[in-house]
């Protein structure tokens, strides 16, 4: 008898594609983003981003209504661009689409080009557009689609220069600042795309600015076609959404894909790559940080061997964190993502075969499936965004909150997890959750052993 399978998702392990596009645009200097769709879509995404980063997040909307749905939303989108320019005066506007706009077949690129021709006498403006329907896939693909659009629509043919392009996956502002520190230590000239280390983690200032300082300048994006190399930090994305591969194909810029630098091996790969490109040895300070990570691994291994983990979230994070667990004696039982990226299963499967480990790798997952995998295999640890609190609440599996979004704790934007120093901090967080859970169960078992109902009744 054939095994029955569910045809619906229950509590999906991902969020809408446009959200990734919005986040990518927040890393561009003097930029604003417009969601071409209903007002509710932009409100939902703005709320999620603001709760995670604890910063005010402005997102424009074309407020597509019934009339626009029937007759086309071109006029409303043009009006939205006018309104955003009047209020924010941006240098660049990013336009992401929603399910509604894509379903009715809106040609947003054509509308943007028409708008620029009609307003050619006004202030200079760049418009980047990306097709990001919610049904297209997850916010990870939305991030990649917008990043590629920025590069393909803004980069130019320029003379070769010594700079390198660094194109990242979705990181915390603290992680981005750590990346910049690593590149500065290596004395590299680089363009980091996108960079919201300041725009989504602002210092407290006496006066509020609608357009926060920081971000990747448009002028730097325009020069990415002349770089000597591109490093893609995150290797799970689709080829057709890869900004690095587009630069390689269009302008001949060599592209290197690396995992997020979480874990000893992944950090080593990034530093070795940077050393080769720069032609200089890895700085002594980095060697010291690597040694401290090794020391932390020795310190925690005697506790981590008892860990049986499920890891979920963004595919690039899932890959990197799963390899970190294997390095430190934590058995990964399941690696799951709501995205439908096939490369995660392929590459993580290769890594598992190399390490002679077995792990259930699931794409397009929901939390009902993740919970079943965790319970059926005896998991005692979950690692991923705060939606995984479902596992804590329903199955009693402790959660290490990591990635995006973290909505039920503060400090997600300040959470450092990459590089040798960030990996050390992440490893401490994971080990401490295991220890807390171990002693919690020990105390419960001791309390049950000392509780004798017959003695209480006799008293």
Read off the pLDDT of residues 240-277 as tens digits, 9 standing for 90 and up: 999 999 999 999 999 999 999 999 999 999 999 999 98
What are the tens digits of pLDDT across the range 102-113? 999 999 999 999
* Cβ–Cβ < 8 Å for 366, 338: yes
Residue 443 has pLDDT above 60, yes or no: no
* Cβ–Cβ < 8 Å for 180, 153: no
3-state secondary structure of 276: helix
- The strand pairing partners of 129, in sequence order, are 95
* Both tokens assigned to 455: 């003695």
How far apart CA 385 and CA 329 sit, in angstroms, is 22
- Report pLDDT for 344: 83
Residues recorded for the chain: 459
Check residue 63 and report its DSSP letter: -
- Report pLDDT for 351: 79
**pLDDT category of residue 8 using cuts at 50, 70 and 90:** low
CB atoms within 10 A of CB 274: 23
- The strand pairing partners of 126, in sequence order, are 92
- The strand pairing partners of 232, in sequence order, are 167, 257
* Both tokens assigned to 67: 């009339």
How far apart CA 316 and CA 295 sit, in angstroms, is 26
pLDDT > 90 fraction of the chain, expressed in percent and rounded:
76
Check residue 12 and report its DSSP letter: B
How far apart CA 408 and CA 401 sit, in angstroms, is 9
* Both tokens assigned to 400: 């290490």
- Report pLDDT for 353: 76
What are the tens digits of pLDDT across the range 305-356? 999 999 999 999 999 999 999 999 999 999 999 988 778 888 888 877 777 6
How far apart CA 94 and CA 32 sit, in angstroms, is 6
Any idea which residue has 């989108």 for tokens? 77
**pLDDT category of residue 10 using cuts at 50, 70 and 90:** confident
Q: Which residue has better confidence, 192 or 119?
A: 192
Q: Structure pTM?
A: 0.91
Cβ contacts of 100 within 8 Å, gap of 6 or more: 37, 38, 41, 64, 69
Check residue 202 and report its DSSP letter: P
Q: How far is CA 15 from the centre of its chain?
A: 11
* Cβ–Cβ < 8 Å for 349, 361: yes
The average pLDDT across 176-182 equals 96
Alpha helices in 281-314 (DSSP H): 284-304
How far apart CA 435 and CA 397 sit, in angstroms, is 13
The count of C-alpha atoms lying within 13 angstroms of the C-alpha of 58, restricted to the half-sphere facing its C-beta, is 16
The residue among 14, 31, 446 whose CA lies nearest residue 200 is: 31
Sign of CA dihedral 223, 220, 131, 348: positive
Residue 2 has pLDDT above 90, yes or no: no
Rounded to 5 degrees, what angle do the CA atoms 257, 294, 351 make?
Answer: 40
Cβ contacts of 396 within 8 Å, gap of 6 or more: none
Check residue 342 and report its DSSP letter: H
Please report the DSSP string for 373-420 in residue order.
HHHHTT--EEEE-GGGHHHHHHH---EEE-SS---SSS-GGG---SHH
Check residue 29 and report its DSSP letter: T
What are the tens digits of pLDDT across the range 182-233? 999 999 999 999 999 999 999 998 888 889 999 999 999 999 999 999 999 9
How far apart CA 145 and CA 149 sit, in angstroms, is 6
N-term to C-term CA, the chain: 59
Residue 88 has pLDDT above 50, yes or no: yes
Rounded to 5 degrees, what angle do the CA atoms 385, 387, 390 make?
Answer: 125
C-alpha Rg value of the chain to the nearest Å: 24
Which domains does the chain possess?
17-201+211-258 (3.40.50.1980), 283-444 (3.40.50.1980)
Check residue 366 and report its DSSP letter: B
- Report pLDDT for 418: 96
- Report pLDDT for 416: 97
**pLDDT category of residue 5 using cuts at 50, 70 and 90:** very low
What are the tens digits of pLDDT across the range 124-157? 899 999 999 989 889 999 999 999 999 999 999 9
Cβ contacts of 127 within 8 Å, gap of 6 or more: 81, 92, 93, 94, 95, 112, 115, 116, 153
* Cβ–Cβ < 8 Å for 303, 434: yes
**pLDDT category of residue 68 using cuts at 50, 70 and 90:** confident
């Amino acid at each position: 008898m054939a095994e029955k399978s569910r045809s619906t998702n229950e509590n999906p392990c991902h969020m809408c594609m446009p959200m990734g596009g919005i986040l990518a645009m927040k890393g561009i200097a003097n930029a604003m983003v417009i969601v071409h769709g209903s007002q509710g879509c932009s409100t939902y995404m703005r709320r999620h981003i603001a709760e995670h980063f604890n910063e005010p997040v402005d997102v424009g909307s074309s407020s597509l209504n019934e009339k626009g749905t029937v007759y086309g939303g071109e006029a409303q989108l043009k009006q939205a661009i006018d309104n955003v320019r009047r209020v924010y005066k941006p240098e660049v506007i990013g336009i992401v689409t929603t399910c509604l706009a894509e379903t009715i077949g809106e040609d947003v690129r054509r509308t943007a080009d028409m708008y620029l021709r009609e307003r050619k006498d006004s202030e200079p403006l760049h418009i980047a557009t990306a097709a990001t329907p919610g049904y297209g896939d997850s916010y990870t693909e939305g991030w990649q689609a917008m990043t590629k659009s920025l590069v393909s629509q803004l980069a130019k043919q320029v003379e070769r220069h010594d700079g390198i392009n660094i194109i990242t996956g979705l990181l915390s502002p603290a992680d981005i600042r750590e990346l910049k520190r690593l590149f500065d230590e290596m004395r590299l000239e680089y363009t980091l795309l996108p960079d919201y280390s300041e725009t989504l983690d602002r210092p407290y200032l006496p006066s509020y600015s609608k357009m926060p300082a920081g971000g990747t300048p448009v002028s730097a994006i325009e020069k990415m076609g002349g770089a000597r190399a591109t490093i893609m930090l995150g290797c799970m994305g689709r080829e057709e959404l890869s900004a690095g591969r587009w630069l390689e194909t269009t302008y001949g810029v060599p592209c290197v894909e690396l995992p997020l630098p979480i874990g000893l091996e992944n950090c080593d790969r990034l530093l070795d790559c940077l050393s080769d490109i720069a032609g200089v040895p890895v700085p002594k300070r980095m060697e010291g940080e690597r040694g401290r990570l090794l020391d932390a691994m020795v310190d925690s291994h005697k506790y981590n061997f008892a860990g049986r983990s499920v890891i979920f979230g963004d595919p690039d994070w899932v890959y990197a964190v799963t390899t970190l667990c294997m390095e430190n004696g934590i058995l990964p039982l399941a690696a799951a993502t709501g995205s439908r990226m096939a490369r995660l299963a392929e590459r993580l499967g290769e890594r598992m075969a190399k390490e002679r480990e077995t792990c259930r790798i699931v794409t397009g997952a929901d939390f009902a499936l993740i919970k079943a995998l965790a319970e059926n295999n005896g998991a005692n640890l979950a690692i991923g965004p705060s939606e995984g609190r479902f596992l804590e609440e329903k199955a009693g599996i402790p959660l290490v909150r990591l990635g995006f979004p973290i909505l039920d704790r503060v400090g997600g934007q300040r959470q450092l997890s990459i590089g040798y120093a960030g990996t050390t901090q992440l490893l401490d967080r994971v080990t401490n959750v295991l220890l807390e859970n171990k002693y919690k169960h020990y105390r419960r078992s001791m309390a049950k052993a000392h509780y004798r109902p017959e003695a209480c009744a006799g008293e």
